[in-house]
Amino acid sequence: MTTKHVLVTGAGGFIGHHLVNHLVGKGYRVRGADIKRPEYSETEAHEFLVADLRDAGHCAAATDGIDDVYHLAADMGGIGYITGNHAVVARNNTIMNIAMLDAAKDAGVGRFLYSSTACVYPHHLQTSPDAVPLREDDAWPAQPEEGYGLEKLFTEKMCEYYGADHGIGMRVVRFHNVYGPLGTYDGGREKVPAAICRKLAGIADGGEIEIWGDGRQTRSFMYVDDCVEGIHRIMESGYAAPLNLGTDELLTIDELVDIVAETAGKTVRKRHDVSKPQGVRGRNSDNSRLRQVLGWEPSCGFRQGIVPTYAWIAAQVNAGRAPAGRPRALEKAG
């Protein structure tokens, strides 16, 4: 059997870095591409291209000789970052996604997996903490997260069109909050589990941390090992329509804080700041279709996955590592 050549974009980022190592372990020949190299640990990719994928020439170099593309690169971050940078985020991702689809078509790529997000789901279905789990079909009629979510929903449709018109085997995966070691934990792009781990690692027992919102907003969280396993299974599934990839273990943010505090062996005082962005009120994943398509779903509970995550972030904080030196916002094209 000949070795498949695969491209992982966003290979310098959190999920992409883990995915590269997972695919290398499975015997693929892996090329990583990103505007920056991984910040916290060396890549295992056979080749790593430092490339700005808003540039068509860089996309052509990245896709040359590639069988399958896992397109994870995106200008993204936690709720503060994506709600504070609508224009830059939507612009960067639109340019990059169209350039990548064109390059995949021109290079004769067989399969293309696009990393979408639960932020595509309509606001009006997410107004209560008792979130009714979101089914794939709920995305339309649309009322997604401004900027980041709207762009993802548009690119989902572009994937459908490129698949139909150009014969590329498309996969569209809607991730629900992913966490784990080697993820951004400071600098403004971190997401809630990493931010809470960092805050708890930085206080003494009995100390106080700030929590965005009233703490009663809800989410589900997926450990990164489940995420990369799911990504590969979806690529192999032959299923072209959007699929949720997440857990359906719903937690309030206060419950999440309590679990991290328990993991850290600390008691904590919570100071809620309702002036800070908190996103939708409640969001959960309906995994019925995922189970139907794959006969599998993520299984790592938050209490289990947060143990290695907290240990890694606490080690970074205790070692006094400088804030992640990534570009704040990718403002210039080319």
Active-site annotation, residues = 148
Q: Tell me if 177 contacts ligand NAD by CB under 6 A.
A: yes
Q: Tell me if 72 contacts ligand NAD by CB under 6 A.
A: yes
Q: Tell me if 35 contacts ligand NAD by CB under 6 A.
A: yes
3-state class (DSSP) for residue 310: helix
Interface map 83-102 toward ligand NAD (x if CB under 6 A): ---------x---x------
CB of 320 to ligand NAD, least distance (A): 22
CB of 59 closer than 8 Å to CB of 69: no
Contact partners, residue 103, CB within 8 Å, separation at least 6? 56, 59, 60, 62, 63
CB of 260 closer than 8 Å to CB of 310: yes
Q: Tell me if 74 contacts ligand NAD by CB under 6 A.
A: yes
* R_g of the chain, CA atoms, integer Å: 19
Cα 291–chain centre separation = 20
**Residue with the CB atom nearest ligand NAD in the bound state:** 13
Residues in 185-204 at the binding interface with ligand NAD, rule: CB under 6 A: 191
Of 221, 189, 204, 198, the closest CA to residue 310 belongs to 198
Choose between 268 and 310: whose C-beta lies nearer to ligand NAD. Answer: 310
CB of 11 to ligand NAD, least distance (A): 7
Residues in 300-319 at the binding interface with ligand NAD, rule: CB under 6 A: none
Burial class (CB within 10 angstroms; exposed 0-12, middle 13-18, buried 19+) of 138:
middle
Distance from C-alpha of 218 to C-alpha of 252, rounded to nearest angstrom: 4
**Which tokens hold the place of 150?**
């709207």
Place of tokens 């790593």: 48
Per CB under 6 A, the list member of 75, 145, 156, 190 interacting with ligand NAD is: 75
Q: Tell me if 12 contacts ligand NAD by CB under 6 A.
A: yes
Residues in 43-62 at the binding interface with ligand NAD, rule: CB under 6 A: 51-54
CB of 215 to ligand NAD, least distance (A): 20
Distance from C-alpha of 55 to C-alpha of 77, rounded to nearest angstrom: 22
CB of 224 closer than 8 Å to CB of 183: yes
Q: Tell me if 156 contacts ligand NAD by CB under 6 A.
A: no
CB of 115 to ligand NAD, least distance (A): 4
Q: Tell me if 76 contacts ligand NAD by CB under 6 A.
A: yes
Q: Which stretch binds ligand NAD (CB under 6 A): 21-29, 176-184, 232-240, 251-259?
A: 176-184
Interface map 116-135 toward ligand NAD (x if CB under 6 A): -x------------------
Q: How many residues lie near ligand NAD (CB under 6 A)?
A: 28
Within 10 A of 96 (CB to CB), how many other CB atoms are there?
A: 27
CB of 290 to ligand NAD, least distance (A): 15
CB of 174 closer than 8 Å to CB of 222: no
3-state class (DSSP) for residue 161: helix
Per CB under 6 A, the list member of 4, 29, 36, 289 interacting with ligand NAD is: 36
CB of 72 to ligand NAD, least distance (A): 4
Burial class (CB within 10 angstroms; exposed 0-12, middle 13-18, buried 19+) of 214:
middle
Residues that bind ligand NAD (CB under 6 A): 10, 12-16, 34-36, 51-54, 72-76, 92, 96, 115, 117, 175, 177-178, 184, 191, 330
